[in-house]
Amino acid sequence: MNSSSNTDSARADIGIVSALPIEMGQFLDRCERIKHYKGNDLVFRGGRYDGIRIVVAESGVGFARARKASRALIDAHQPKWILSSGFSGALVPDMKIGQIVMANEIVDQHGQQTAINLSLESDEENGLYVGRILTADELVRTVEEKRQLHEKFAAIAVDMESLAVAQVAAESKIGFMAVRVISDDMSADLPSEVLSIIGDTGAVRLGAALTSIVKRPGSFKDMLHLRSNAQAAAKNLATFLDGVVHQLHSSG
């Protein structure tokens, strides 16, 4: 009896895999009865969103970590749906920070790809783009790199995790959706310090950050600007996820 009750209480209606704590922070602020635990280099946070049971796995950056987090989330919580959600970079000039991207196809740089059955069309006037997302091996920092990736892969946005989550969902035969928000557009390159400051786990390396500021004082202003963009993007993502979560839950 207790074993069955404990198993049922661990179940989630919807699981979400994100790389960085800031990506889902504002969405989780809207949830009730938040609990969290750590295990095997992963952080899990769960709660109820209008009665819908949500679990977020913070994977850290990259394909391998996202795959590991997805597997762990499904094994522990058996959600009906799993989402890859968080920040992405724009690969087309029209997209702006805070706009939403939903994948109808995901590819990587090695020929892997998966199609997603998504009966939704872009609504660019209201900041919604639907199309191909590229899961890249490394952070894409410059406008020129983004331009080249768009030309080669015909993708409209780039992240480092979505294909991994999609593959695990397919293996587990559960519903999948990629819901990303643009946190950096094609108006300017990301500062070079980003590559050294953000660790694989998603944690900020304070030592590297301080070193960057000493070497280039202007990097402090750049980092503040990036954080402001990230917070604005996270807020828009949280608002959009409200509708996604309710729709998925009502669809069963």
6 φ, ψ to 5°? -65, -40
| Nearest C-alpha neighbor of 27 from the set 250, 246, 247, 236 | 236
Q: Are 16 and 6 spatial neighbours (Cβ–Cβ below 8 Å)?
A: no
Which one has a higher pLDDT value, 124 or 41? Answer: 124
What number is the average pLDDT over the span 179-185?
A: 95
User: CATH no. for residue 101?
Assistant: 3.40.50.1580
Burial class for 40, CB neighbours closer than 10 Å (0-12, 13-18, 19+): exposed
* DSSP type of residue 124: G
Nearest to 64 by CA among 161, 174, 158: 161
Nearest to 242 by CA among 182, 179, 184, 183: 179
Number of structural domains, the chain?
1
Q: What CA–CA distance (Å, rounded) separates 16 from 23?
A: 11
Q: Which domain, by its residues, includes 167?
A: 2-251
- 9 vs 146: which has the higher pLDDT: 146
Say what the pLDDT of residue 63 is.
Answer: 96
216/251: higher pLDDT: 251
Q: Tell me, what amino acid is at 83?
A: L
pLDDT digits (tens, 9 = 90+) for 136-155: 999 898 999 999 999 999 99
